[in-house]
Amino acid sequence: MNPEKRLSIVAIACLTTCTIPFVSSLRAAPVAPGQNKSAKEKSNDSRPIVNNSSKYEAVVRIENSSLNPDYRTPWNSGRDSGGNGTGWLVAPNRFLTNAHVVSNSRIVYIKKVGDAKPYRAKILHIAHDCDLAMLELEDPVAFEGVKPFEIGELPQLDTKVKVIGYPIGGERISITSGVVSRIDFLSYSHSAVDLHLTVQIDAAINPGNSGGPVLQDGRVVGVAFQGYSGNVAQNTGYMIPPPVIRRFLKDIEDGEYNHYVDLTMSEFTLLNPAQRAALGLPNDGLGIMVAHAEADGSAGGILKTGDVLMAIDGLPVKSNGLINYEGEDVNMNEIVERKFAGDVINLKIWRERKPMVAKVTLKRFLPYLISAKKYDQKPRYVMFAGLVFQPLDRNLMTAHGIKDLQVRYHYDSYVSDSIYKERPEIIVLTSILPDSINSYFSSYSQSIVDMVNGVKIKTLKDIHTALQKNNGDFVTVRLLGNGRPIVIERSRVTAAQKRIQEKYNVLRDHYLEEPAKAVD
Amino acid sequence: MKIPTPLLILGAIMPASALAAPASAEKSVVRVNTTMQAYNLIQPWQKAAPSSRLGLGAVLPGGRVLVTAQMVTDATYIELEKADTAAKAIAEVVAVDYEANLAVLKPTAKLDFLSDRIPFELEGRLQPGDKVEAWQFENNGTPVTTEIKVSKAEVSRYFLDSSFFLTVQASGTVQYRSGSFTLPVAKDNKLAGLLVSYSSKDQVSSILPASIITHFLKDIEDGDYAGFPNLGISYSQTLDEQFRNYLKLNGEKGGVYISKIIAGASAAAAGLKAGDVILTIDGKQIDARGNYDHPVWGKLSLSHLVRGKPFTGDTLKIEILRNGKKQPISLKLIRRPAENRLIDPYMFDRGPKFAIVGGLVFQELTLPFLKLFGNDWKTRAPIKLLMANANPEMHEKQGRRKLVLLVRAIPTPATLGYERLSTLIVTQFNGKPINDIKDLHEASQTPQGNQHRIEFESYPKLIFVDVNLAARVDAALKQRFGTIRRLD
């Protein structure tokens, strides 16, 4: 995964025609009661799709009730919603599905083929970076004796696959079939920043299929998870292939999900003979140039701009960034993909016309998360005198539709300009709850807070502390890109705070904690 | 076929004694026909298709004609035409100020072309309630007079985003005749201003008033045009009581807070600082919104005190509050020329500066370039370029006079693999820092080996181009484009 590079490609494309298609995730849509009824009525007079449904006992329907936080009113509990998807038995009382099927979950039920009863389930692990989740039944008795699926290998191109699940178009289990169309390294739309190995198939995948197994010779060779909407591309469904599934299963073996690691570098192709000559390389199509290695990332301090990456764990890297791995041409990041935090990769480098070797100990790189969609987290905020302060991330940008140039720059360049070092969190004055204490401030919302009472603000906790500290008659808030500070008279704050909380129904005036997992 | 001669005869028999008569539409307004052709900003080696603009000019003493600057932007050919006789003369620009939207023309060859016309006198004393006349012509040359009533004046934007000047508003229906871009406005047969825009919805006309015209004409008298001074500050209102208490402004009536000082203009030179509060300018009290009481127009923006009357080089007395203490400041008015800014705010009558190396097109960033991204350029243009536009001091601190961009790569054998690169800020070329397009051209003449080494501020940071291949490609491109660089 390499969001930095991906972002720059999108930016270039947008200059011309903005043709990067939008990958719509197969988020299960809530089924309206009316629809439910008509579907049932229909099934009475139409032949069941599956005669021997017990064959598919290990494929389950998952119904999730969610509570989606509203970043515009972060003090509220959120909006109730829900949806359904598919899951499958991977081990005794272990059901695998997509993270997006059970995100922001309040309550999850699993339904078995031919069994009307919903069984209460709990989320054991949820991996938003690879869109997988592991569920467990509170009472597994209904699935005793049901054989879990085996996981197969990465399927070959043009081999047949079957997709099983509970998509829209009816209530009962559905099966579609097709072939493996393409194997590629693509974006996972659930987090929007992660890229992993992905297999494209031409079997129909529809909302509700998410999390369901894709079978070949009776074994699972993929988890159906996303596709394009019909008016963008046809017969283009995507599944999560076995290497990604296996990595997830291995990661949670110790009882904890530890996320993907990243090399944290961007690379540039070496297709121009002049580049190769300048760097002293033969014109043999091997090696890719390091454009930038982020200082605080795994490769920081090891790789530098102008280095050429020749081989990764012994596999030669081609000038377009591909390696031949297990018989397939895949992105060189595939090597990093299979590793875990603390693992080491061996690099062959060409630096200043000399070969070198380097070992890189891999770790997770958190600053990338600023542009990831976030789930299962309660929005954090501070409300002071009607001014609402929140840390900048993708959810915030989307919810508030922020146009301010400074905010957009800090969001876009947080990693590439190493802003994360100066400000681990970018605190934005997102909105103002109008009151007499702030009636002249309305034009200052959606700006970044630089300082409060002379203290530089680097985290949400910083601003909370600085605002509470009683050091003078005035509270001054300086915003980036705006020379005029916001000034509040300290003596007026207590009364205003009480008034605003009552008027706008703000139960708590701040929430600073890192969220605990909101399951159940 | 009949020859339409009557108009010509009329012109010929007009007695010379008419010069003593007051100005009139017939005798003091001429048609101005301009052909304009801007440069193509994407392909800077070529010009866009020519277009034309037909407007009106006011005859001034000395055989000159006053028009708006908009009439002559990127002009390739200017013609003066007498409405009555349809006699024509080629003209040239004597002086132009795009910020003030004014230009003076004179005939290029027929110097006595306007000797049978009556020059305008200027009338600077407008006030609300005044009835003025907008003058124009029918197609057949008959003068048309429309009476409109002056309602108010305010400091507002002229045709460039960056320039604010006094504008007078008048109400009343004005029917536009063709060829009437810019109408002279007369009061008692004297020139009261130029009608620059008209909203048919509210029937309100905007008039560039004679006071600004006089300022412009006085400035060009000595042949050396200094231009209107810039104060060079951003300011905020001080209406908020909490803010006033914080600034210790409680005892004062008004005042505006200086939120930013722009380098190179008057305020910076006079030692004003962000955080100062301006209380008075030229003895006039500035209120909390940044206005002062003008004897005729009422509340007007303080910027009119800086640009309305005084000239570049004059000194203004102002009073500020700094750290709660009043302080007089003597402010010498200077002007930071537009071309000295990191990002040129406008570009007329000249092509964009550029240089091609092996098919890589390098260009200096300008505001017109940013506007190529469409009406919503403020959200669509690359964010690093928008940041540079909003905070030029970021780059100026590093010694950059201009921002040089790799605008795009024309696919050539030398740019193989670079086809998708665009709008990247160039930091170094062949190891030399790049502070304007000339730097880049000079650096491209001294490669360190067989490859040009080009470094960018962002991804992919570093590329190389073969020197010999680039030279061959450039020779071929020169054949195709005519020119591969414009450095001045």
Cβ-nearest to A305 among B387, B451, B462: B462
Is residue B371 over pLDDT 80?
yes
| Number of C-beta neighbours around residue B326 at 10 A | 13
For the domain with range B16-107, which CATH number is right: 3.30.450.20, 2.170.190.11, 2.50.20.10, 2.40.10.10?
Answer: 2.40.10.10
Annotation: CATH topology of B131-219? Thrombin, subunit H (2.40.10)
What are the tens digits of pLDDT across the range B227-266? 999 999 999 999 999 999 999 998 888 999 999 999 889 9
- Pick among A7, A272, A486 to test the B interface (most B CBs inside 10 A): A272
- pLDDT greater than 50 at residue A56: yes
Query: Which of A16-20, B19-23, B474-478 has the weakest average pLDDT?
Result: A16-20
Chain A residue numbers touching B386 (CB-CB < 8 A): 405, 409
Which residue among A8, A277, A492 sits closest to B459, beta carbon to beta carbon? Answer: A8
- What is the reported pLDDT for A20? 27
Q: Are residues B314 and B363 in contact, defined by beta-carbon separation less than 8 angstroms?
A: no
| Best to test chain A binding among B243, B247, B273, B394 (most A CBs inside 10 Å) | B243
**Residue A60 parent element (H or E):** strand A59-68
8 Å CB contact of A271 and B417:
yes
Q: What is the mean pLDDT of chain B?
A: 92
pLDDT mean across residues, chain A? 88
> Per-residue pLDDT for B277 more than 80?
yes
Min CA distance, B276 vs chain A (Å)? 11
Could you read off the pLDDT of B74-107 as tens digits, one per residue?
A: 999 999 999 999 999 999 999 999 999 999 999 9
Judge if B16-107 and B131-219 fold alike in CATH terms: yes
List the domain boundaries for chain B: 16-107, 131-219, 233-332, 339-486
Taking an 8 Å cut-off on Cβ atoms, the answer to whether B240 and A484 are in contact is no
Q: Nearest by CB to B417, which of A272, A291, A489?
A: A272
**Sorting pLDDT into bands at 50, 70 and 90, what band is A327?**
confident
Residue B461 and residue B463: Cα distance in Å, rounded?
7
pLDDT of residue A7: 27
pLDDT value of position A1: 38
Q: For residue A54, what pLDDT is reported?
A: 65
User: pLDDT digits over B55-64, tens only?
Assistant: 999 999 999 9
Record: contact A487-B257, CB cut-off 8 A: no
- pLDDT score, position B252: 87
Q: Give the per-residue pLDDT at A514.
A: 67
**Residue A448 binned pLDDT confidence (cut-offs 50, 70, 90):** very high
Per-residue pLDDT, averaged over A222-229, amounts to 91
DSSP-assigned letter for residue A245: H
Q: What is the pLDDT of residue B338?
A: 86
Residue of A nearest to B377 (CA): A15
Query: In A308-401, which ranges are continuous DSSP H helix?
Result: 333-337, 394-400
**Over 50: is that where the pLDDT of A3 sits?**
no
Chain B residue numbers with beta carbons less than 8 Å from the beta carbon of A279 are 464
Residue A118 burial class via C-beta count within 10 angstroms: exposed 0-12, middle 13-18, buried 19 and up: middle
C-alpha gyration radius of chain A: 26
**How far apart are the C-alpha atoms of A223 and B5, rounded to whole Å?**
88
What pLDDT score does A345 carry?
Answer: 96
Predicted confidence band at A429 (pLDDT cuts at 50, 70, 90)?
very high
Give yes or no for residue A443 having a pLDDT over 60.
Answer: yes
Q: What is the pLDDT of residue B14?
A: 42
Average pLDDT over residues A350-369: 96
Chain A nearest-CA distance from B288, in A, is: 13
Nearest by CB: A272 against B245, B386, B418: B418
Q: Residue range B18-45: average pLDDT?
A: 88
Among B390, B452, B461, select the one facing A305 at the smallest CB separation: B461
* Cα angle, residue A339 at apex, residues A21 and A337 outer, rounded to 5°: 10
Residue-level pLDDT at A114: 85
Helix crossing, B383-390 with A405-412: angle to 10°? 140
Answer whether B462 sits within 8 Å of A483, measured CB to CB: no
First to last CA, chain A: 31
Count of CB contacts below 8 A, A vs B? 119
Residues of B in contact with A268 (CB under 8 A): 459-463
> What is the pLDDT, as a whole number, of residue A53?
52
Binary contact (B234, A483; C-beta < 8 A): yes
The domain defined by B233-332 folds into Pdz3 Domain (2.30.42)
Nearest CA distance, A23 vs chain B (angstrom): 21
Taking only the tens place, the pLDDT of each residue in A247-283 is 999 999 999 999 999 999 999 999 999 999 999 999 8
What average pLDDT score do residues A487-495 get? 97
Asked if the model's pLDDT at residue A30 lies above 50, the reply is no
Tell me which of B246, B260, B473 to substitute to probe the interface with A (most A C-beta atoms closer than 10 Å): B246
Would strands B88-97 and B102-107 be described as parallel, antiparallel, or unpaired? antiparallel
| Structural fold of domain B339-486 | N-terminal domain of MutM-like DNA repair proteins (3.20.190)
Arithmetic mean of pLDDT, A413-440: 96
Alpha-carbon gap: A134 to the closest alpha carbon of chain B (Å): 38
CB contact under 8 A, A412 and B383: yes
State residue A37's pLDDT score.
33
Tens of pLDDT, residue by residue over A93-112, are 999 999 999 999 999 999 99
Minimal Cα–Cα distance from B256 to chain A, Å?
11
